[in-house]
Structure 1
Amino acid sequence: MNPKKFSRIAESLRQYRRAELRDFMDEIGENAVDTLYVDPLPGDAVLTSVLSSNTTFLLGRKGTGKSTVFARAQSELRKKQNIISIYVDVKSLYDTMQASDVVSGVVGDVTIDPGIFRAHLLRKSFLGSSLAEILKEIDKTSEAMSLWDKWRGHRKPYSELRKNIEALQSRLKDVKLDSQELPVLQQITTKWKARAQKETGKTQSAGVKVEAGGMPANVGVNFSGHASLSDFDKSLDDNEVYNEYSDVVLRSFPFDSIISEIKELVEECGLARLVIFFDDFSELSLVDQRLFVDIVLAPLNNSSNESIKLKIAGYPGRVYFGKIDPGKVDTVSLDFSSLYEASEVQTMEHAATDYASRLMRSRFEAFGEDVNDYFDDSISIEQHMRLLFETTFNVPRLMGILLHVCYLDRVSKGQKITAASLRLAARKHYENTIVKYFDRLNRYALEPFENKLDRHNQSELIKTITQEAKRVRSGISSGTVGGTYFKGVSNPPISHFIVSPELSVIFQSLEANFLLSRYKETRDKNGKPVVVYAMFYGLSEAERIAWGYPSGREYRNYFVQRCFDFSSAIHEFLSQKQTIRCGSCFTCFPLDQKPSIELYKWRCPECSDGHCSIVDLADDFAQEVSKLSNQKALDPVELDILTALHDEDEEMRASEISALIDVTYQLVGKRTSKLSDIGLVKKERKLIDGKMRSQITDRANNNYFGE
């Protein structure tokens, strides 16, 4: 055993950013991605799909390896002489825009709210910078590939093309307000003011003062202030307003020139196509995602006559196709329930365990180690790999996190990893990271109230699910549930449950945070389609709930027993937490009227003009949030930085922090400087290597991490 190497193996798995694989070149050589890559499917099937000549959406939750697949695909494309490929990290670009003062100046039209004006220019700056980044990467990659040597020069010199590309970049970055944008910004301002006045009047008449952004009065600015970004987004919920807004923004960009220059590069150099990889696309808000598709992706995809192909990484359930025809693109999912779907759950689990085994063996071998040397031999290595799949849902980053905990608990002391230590690692990650992270964000994050409410409802929903599971276990034990089917089953596993498919959307946030995972689509005992979900192993350990299902052929359909159908319990939860509300007259309707309101395309039955939507009932939680002090509030990314410094308990470079929290090192550098100014981080340059490092202060530990 080599504890230091094991630590590096765990570290290589738990880092987010693909660029940080450079940190491991000393151990595994320069081609880190090629060496470490293990395809989720045999025969490199996922990689082959991404390398196809079609536009491809690669879907998977955070940490499932989308960036690694893209890096490996780019490595293959660089070996070809007839394809040029570039990579755009959408989230990093967005973070950089958010962190800098890209918006300046004052709107001249007094009928446009300054907050809406600023939100519009910030959004337009991001979209323009995205297009400028594409052109910049094309120019840089063309130079690296020496494409001028292939230039045929039928239309113009290569130098003229580069000059045109540079001019377009400059134009895209120079954000200006076009006259055609004024009417729609005036319309958005009018809608915001009307809605804010209605919301303020309605809530004050009920005895609760609520601000324009939907926040309790002592949480945000009052109505006399300017519109926020979330206010701007609410105005775009109206499809007519959104379509008008996206159309005028699209027309303000020189798309004809951009497409023309790209096509000319491809044709004059005799290339087959340009392939653009867009990573972390789903990290954008839903409004930003829609605009990004409609203003950047769709025109590139639909107007290039096959010259441009897109590869887009996103989250399941958070992908908007817009004018990109879903039937003409490939969609590949990295979540195990989609990758290994089979008629029997045991076949799916076998395929998932095989990937966990291949990934671990390959990763250990890359570092010159044998995986068998680190796992206790009281059970087979295959059983350890099965447990690793169960505790992580086959998410490489989660594997790295649990192995890091095992390093601290076992390997660093010269002890091998046991099944019990893996289960303990999952529980520790749940209790020490996931639960506390939820609580910390709701207490201290400076963010819209809706974000806090969503997180609060996630916590309440997972409590409902665990309570229902324990109720079922009690019924099985007493013999009042399940009849003779469970006879002879001691401590019955209750970690999996089924719901009707239409409820799946309710679990998207819980899935994104790995508290639940979609396990399988099947049919219940009445032949109706249902979806099987599984609790995160660490959650089930913390709640003392047995995970999985009993062994034996008679239990192959264990999940679909009627007692595991939680649909009624979920509906009851939703009836207490959600309602249907009109955005204009604010009339509320019970959830059981959803089918009839949906039939009339969500038009309000009361006022006929308004648009209805499902909203969360926030009164109890709003009062709880209003009691929190804003004096300690920080941006969520700043809380993430403090959490990383607290958890690692050591001085860290910006690049090391960024690898753990999935933002750019430039953003970390700016935010640690701010945190240093307010006494939450100690930041200094070390004489030993001249690099700047940050360390959390006692004040930050006491304020944000004290019991």
Structure 2
Amino acid sequence: MNLDKFSKIAESLRAYRRAELKDFESEIGSKPVEALYVDPLPGEAVLKSVLSSNTTFILGRKGTGKSTVFAKAQSVLREQKKVISAYIDVKSIYDVLNEVGIPDIELEKLGISVVTYRSHMLRKIMLGKVISDLLEETSKSCDKLTLLDRWSGKKKQYEDLKSSLADLGDRVKNAKLESHEIPILQKITNQLKNRAQSEKSHTNSQAIGLNASVSLEKASVGGNFENSLSDFDRTLDDKDTYQEYSDVVLRSFPFNEILDEIQTLLSESGMLRLVAFFDDFSELNFTDQRLFVDVILSPLNNSSNENVKLKIAAYPGRVYYGKIDPSKVDTIGLDFSDLYESNEVQEMERSALDYTKRLLSHRFTAFGENIEDYLELNTNNLDDIIKMMFRASFNVPRIMGHLLHILFLDRISKDQKINLTSIRLASKKYYENTISKYFDRLNRFALEPFENKLDRYNQSQLLKCIVEECRTVRRRIIEKEIGGNYFSNLGGNPQTSHFIVSPELEDVFASLESNFFLSRYKYTRDKSGSDVIVYALFLGLCESERMNWGYPEGREYRNYFVQRCFEFSRAIHQFLSSKQTIKCNSCGHCHPMEMKQSIELFKWKCPECMEGTCRIVNLSDDFQEEVEKLDREIMLEPVELEIIATLNYEDKKMRAGEISSLIDTTHQMVGRRTSKLQEMGLVNKERDNNDGKMKSEVTEQCKSTYFNN
């Protein structure tokens, strides 16, 4: 066994950013994406769909390989030399948003509040940066394709057009407040004042809320800036206000000129189209998603006469299409339940296992190794180990990388091979040390809006509710209270890792699913013929809670999941009723959750005052008291917590690029934040004597404050 090769195989799967694959060029060649790419479907069906001439949304949770598919698609397009492609990492632009300078102007005479102005300008600067980066990437792509050699020059000289693209980029990047924007900002300022007065008059209210459209989801995957749940955002929840505001922002950008230049570029060079890849789209919060789509994506997609095609990566359940017609775009889901959907669970698993085997075998082969050399095949066969890797990772390549990293530490480094028990243990460690602790650490130490902490707290309570239901079902099966003879041969530890709920509850589980506490397993029908969704808990969670994951073998158990004891809809509704209510933003009246469907039918208008808009709010009395006791002096921004958590877990000195590859941000962002953390006494940062590179490690003060307990 080659320890160095195995370690690098694990690292290549753990890395977040596709650029980090360049670190492995010495082992696998100068084109790492070409060497490592494995399509989730046979015949490279996913890649071919992305390469089609349609606008494409590719959906998948973190680590499912969206960026890798984009990288492979760009590589193919460059070889074909028929289109111009540009790649934009949207999240990397947002990561530095708070660090940009905003011009100072005299706001009092304009009747615009500081909050309104800052919120508006931050978003305008971000949108301008996206457009500027798109034009810059397009220009770079032209140089790589040597378009000058094929330029016709009938309408415009090549250098003139490149200069024009650069000028347009500078104009949109240098955002400033324009006269046509002032009226809507004055209107929003007045609405903010009215909202503040309304909330002040209802100080006895016990509810603090989140937007109903994202339910329990926003906390874990929202944007990074502090005003992500600000009153400014909530004001834009009003449809008319948002529409007026987005139209004003759209007018700030010269899209007619931009599209004219792109069309000139294509016609003069004889190229077919511009293909623009937008990655990490779902990292934006809901307000910013809407603006991003309505101000940038929709004009590019709808007004370009088919000259521009978009490829957009997003998380399931967090996609806003705006004026892009969903029926006219291709949507591809990378999560296994979408890719391999089948009437039979066993058939779905067979298709998923084929990908697991192809991915792992190909990755070892690319590094010149044979996967079987690292497996304990005298007691387990290859198929059983592949099945366990699928169940432990939900077929997410990045989780496979984390599991392999733990297996490297636990087994390979000790000259011991991998078996089924070691995979289960690795899954348990990954859950306990990474997934679970990350949630707890954010709630205790993250500098963020209270709503985020409340939402995350409610998610943890929801998870406890589900686990307790699973335990109850297990006990009742063992004691033969339910199921009759159906469960009689299951022994003393029946499988209770899966449960079913009605489809209307899908949004409730979105955040737990995106953070891999559980996963949607399949759509099916219950015994009454009603549509239901089967969910499965993460294997590591089940190992931690000492529950048996899976389902019994045998044809007679093919409908195991849909036994009535696994129907959790009622329990989930009871949980939500105890944690949520429906509140009017005008009169402050609270309505019971049972009225949700009728209020939703009337577009959330309050039935009490008939003027205000209702929203689902989370009840927070007890938890608010807990949060008030937290020490704000030691709180850090979420990205800073991720940095120190990575340094602590890896337990070694690390370069900014190494850290960024594990937490999904840029090395520039990590470099700036480690410098800040050094000033706070939490990180030691110095140049390595061996390779001369700047590296960071956590201090003892950091360990004792954030990790020791």
Contact 1:113 1:227 in 2 (8 A): no
Secondary structure of 1:363's counterpart equals helix
CA distance in 1, matches of 2:36, 2:560: 37
Superposed, 1:292-691 pairs within 5 Å as 292-377=292-377, 378-490=379-491, 491-691=493-693
Q: Deviations over 1:10-41 (max 9, x none)?
A: 01001100000000001000110010000000
- Aligned partner of 1:384: which letter? I
1:101 is displaced (CA, Å) by 2.8
Distance 1:182 1:228, change over 3 A: farther
Distance 1:489 1:653, change over 3 A: same
CA distance in 1, matches of 2:433, 2:699: 20
CA distance in 1, matches of 2:386, 2:60: 21
Contact 2:435 2:516 in 1 (8 A): no
Q: Deviations over 1:267-321 (max 9, x none)?
A: 1111111100000000011111110000000000000011000000000000000
Q: How many residues align?
A: 693
Q: Deviations over 1:210-245 (max 9, x none)?
A: 9999xxxxxxxxxxxx98862211111111110000
- Aligned partner of 1:64: which letter? T
Secondary structure of 1:550's counterpart equals coil
Q: Deviations over 1:357-391 (max 9, x none)?
A: 00010000011110001111111111100010001
Secondary structure of 2:632's counterpart equals coil
Secondary structure of 1:631's counterpart equals helix
- Aligned partner of 1:162: which letter? K
Secondary structure of 1:584's counterpart equals coil
Secondary structure of 1:439's counterpart equals helix
Distance 1:674 1:106, change over 3 A: farther
Corresponding position of 1:253: 253
Secondary structure of 1:457's counterpart equals helix
- Aligned partner of 1:446: which letter? L
CA distance in 2, matches of 1:212, 1:606: 20
CA distance in 2, matches of 1:212, 1:77: 42
Q: Deviations over 1:90-127 (max 9, x none)?
A: 00011122333355445354521112101110100000
Superposed, 1:15-164 pairs within 5 Å as 15-107=15-107, 109-164=109-164
1:576 is displaced (CA, Å) by 0.2
Structure 2: any 5+ residue segments left out of the alignment?
A: 212-225
Distance 1:542 1:398, change over 3 A: same
Distance 1:575 1:425, change over 3 A: same
CA distance in 2, matches of 1:107, 1:209: 33
Contact 1:199 1:210 in 2 (8 A): no
- Aligned partner of 2:88: which letter? V
CA distance in 2, matches of 1:137, 1:635: 31
Q: Deviations over 1:393-441 (max 9, x none)?
A: 0000000001111111010000001101100111111111112111110
CA distance in 2, matches of 1:682, 1:78: 43
Contact 1:199 1:212 in 2 (8 A): no
Q: Deviations over 1:327-370 (max 9, x none)?
A: 00000000000000011000000110110000010000011110
1:472 is displaced (CA, Å) by 0.7
Superposed, 1:206-225 pairs within 5 Å as none
Contact 1:117 1:185 in 2 (8 A): yes
- Aligned partner of 1:363: which letter? R
Q: Which moved more, 1:1-10 or 1:530-539?
A: 1-10
CA distance in 2, matches of 1:49, 1:227: 37
- Aligned partner of 1:382: which letter? D
Corresponding position of 2:218: none
CA distance in 1, matches of 2:59, 2:260: 30
CA distance in 1, matches of 2:704, 2:116: 38
Secondary structure of 2:172's counterpart equals helix
Secondary structure of 1:615's counterpart equals strand
CA distance in 2, matches of 1:64, 1:295: 28
Considering only aligned residues, what root-mean-square deviation do their CA atoms show, in Å? 1.6
1:186 is displaced (CA, Å) by 1.2
Secondary structure of 1:40's counterpart equals coil
CA distance in 2, matches of 1:82, 1:108: 53
CA distance in 1, matches of 2:676, 2:461: 34
Contact 1:604 1:611 in 2 (8 A): yes
Contact 1:86 1:276 in 2 (8 A): yes
Contact 1:59 1:66 in 2 (8 A): yes
Contact 1:99 1:667 in 2 (8 A): no
CA distance in 2, matches of 1:28, 1:68: 16
Contact 1:200 1:210 in 2 (8 A): no
Secondary structure of 1:607's counterpart equals coil
Secondary structure of 1:78's counterpart equals helix
Secondary structure of 2:316's counterpart equals coil
Corresponding position of 1:222: none
Superposed, 1:4-19 pairs within 5 Å as 4-19=4-19
CA distance in 2, matches of 1:234, 1:400: 39
- Aligned partner of 1:671: which letter? R
Greater relative CO (CA pairs within 8 A, separation 6+) = 2
Q: Which moved more, 1:99-108 or 1:360-369?
A: 99-108
Contact 2:208 2:618 in 1 (8 A): no
Corresponding position of 2:223: none
Distance 1:533 1:305, change over 3 A: same
Superposed, 1:687-698 pairs within 5 Å as 687-698=689-700
Q: Deviations over 1:512-537 (max 9, x none)?
A: 00001000000000100000000000
Distance 1:349 1:568, change over 3 A: same
- Aligned partner of 2:575: which letter? F
Secondary structure of 1:695's counterpart equals strand
- Aligned partner of 1:329: which letter? V
Q: Deviations over 1:588-627 (max 9, x none)?
A: 1011111211121111101111111111112221111111
CA distance in 1, matches of 2:183, 2:323: 24
- Aligned partner of 2:635: which letter? A
Q: Deviations over 1:550-579 (max 9, x none)?
A: 101100110000000000100000000111
Contact 1:96 1:667 in 2 (8 A): yes
TM-score by length of 1: 0.96
Q: Which moved more, 1:688-697 or 1:566-575?
A: 688-697
Contact 1:337 1:519 in 2 (8 A): yes
Contact 2:207 2:617 in 1 (8 A): no
Contact 1:212 1:227 in 2 (8 A): no
1:196 is displaced (CA, Å) by 2.1
CA distance in 1, matches of 2:127, 2:550: 46
Contact 1:282 1:289 in 2 (8 A): yes
Q: Which moved more, 1:101-110 or 1:324-333?
A: 101-110
- Aligned partner of 1:416: which letter? K
- Aligned partner of 1:426: which letter? S
Contact 2:208 2:620 in 1 (8 A): no
1:688 is displaced (CA, Å) by 2.5
1:483 is displaced (CA, Å) by 1.3
